[in-house]
Chains A and B, each alone.
Chain A
Amino acid sequence: DQQVKQNSPSLSVQEGRISILNCDYTNSMFDYFLWYKKYPAEGPTFLISISSIKDKNEDGRFTVFLNKSAKHLSLHIVPSQPGDSAVYFCASGTYKYIFGTGTRLKVLA
């Protein structure tokens, strides 16, 4: 029973365009969310987070949106670059993170 779901296993986007990665969660008590990026043979790297008191958090090219009523969050990458090609995981929790299964993003040059 997955509490954090990433329903798109893969996504391809043209360089310079927007990448939108989606994540759904089932538990309305979840109040802190994170996105991690993972390259092959490396550990996940923290990207951006958002607390439930906010509906948007921005860091450079990366923006995370949170829709609490829909239990949905999304990560926007604008503009997408080939170096952004990686697997992106959303997660929730304060210390025992619950991760989604990841979305493999491929940015085409």
Chain B
Amino acid sequence: GAGVSQSPSNKVTEKGKDVELRCDPISGHTALYWYRQSLGQGLEFLIYFQGNSAPDKSGLPSDRFSAERTGGSVSTLTIQRTQQEDSAVYLCASSKDRQETQYFGPGTRLLVL
């Protein structure tokens, strides 16, 4: 009965480097979401995938951020040319379908030096 898993759990990188964050959703969940939580803030929606539909990218903060979801399962969030303000916890969630309860992974804590 695996939940949502994310890797790595922690990532330290230097400003200007690219990073990839991975999310494995719950098996059978068609919807997948990425959020981030900066220090002292609430969770901020980034991007949403639903089946084979085009993703809702309306929350991505800049064009340095991108995400893909291969085969309707695993998703990768990529941040290019990282900046210090990208430091945050990046959380992935999945749900059976849109408007169903979202189940979150433990997050990836990203620190950009």
Interface residues of A (CB under 8 A from B): 2, 4, 6, 36, 41-46, 49, 89, 91, 94-102
Contact = CB atoms under 8 A, between A and B. Distances in A.
Interface in B61-113: 91, 93, 95, 98-99, 101-107
Contacts of B42: 2, 4, 6, 89, 98-102
Contacts of B91: 43-44
8 contacts: A43-B4, A43-B105, A43-B106, A46-B103, A94-B99, A95-B99, A96-B33, A96-B59
A92 to B, nearest CB: 11
Interface of B: 4, 31, 33, 35, 40-45, 48, 56, 58-59, 91, 93, 95, 98-99, 101-107
Contacts of A4: 42
Contacts of B56: 96
A53 to B, nearest CB: 15
Given A91-B43, A94-B99, A95-B31, 10 more contacts: A2-B42, A4-B42, A6-B42, A41-B106, A43-B93, A43-B107, A89-B43, A99-B43, A100-B42, A101-B40
A97 B100 CA distance: 12
A99 B91 CA distance: 13
B104 A44 contact: yes
A83 to B, nearest CB: 19
A58 B11 CA distance: 40
Given A95-B31, A95-B99, A96-B56, A44 B48 contact: no
Contacts of A97: 35, 43, 45, 102
Contacts of A89: 42-43
B48 A95 contact: yes
Contacts of B58: 96
Nearest to B58: A96
B40 to A, nearest CB: 7
Nearest to B109: A41
Contacts of B95: 95
A45 B91 CA distance: 12
